[in-house]
Amino acid sequence: MLAFLVTQKEGDNSMSNSDGSGGRQLRLVLAVNDFEHFLSASKGLSVSTRECYVRHVLAFLTEVGGDTAGVVDLGGVSAQRVRSYVTDLGGRYAPQSLRLIATAIRSFLGFAWMSAGRAAI
């Protein structure tokens, strides 16, 4: 676990946001794999639920924008960004499905932020 977190080398500003605040960057594939393991081991979710969550999280993270190395910066993700993403899907999904998508994304972001916090300790 936590192998998905990208560490910043001293003096390397490539992971800083444009405002200099620095973001939380993660390796997309590893993060999603760790998230799926977390959903299974810690939450006991069924295979179909895990697959559904992972599918929607991958779509969201791809939309948010990963670089060619498969790294996504969570520093640019806000509640407004998630809300906007889910709202934009409104024409394609029923309200119940939109709630599920929002829950999947919220669950992943909580997992990623809490994992990063534990790694920093």
Q: Do the domain assignments include residue 79?
A: yes
Print the domain residue range for 64.
25-120
CATH of the domain at 36: 1.10.150
pLDDT tens-place string over residues 63-117: 887 665 788 888 878 899 999 999 999 999 999 999 999 999 999 999 988 887 5
- 3-state DSSP call for residue 3? coil
Q: What predicted TM-score, i.e. pTM, was given to this entire model?
A: 0.76
DSSP state of 9: P
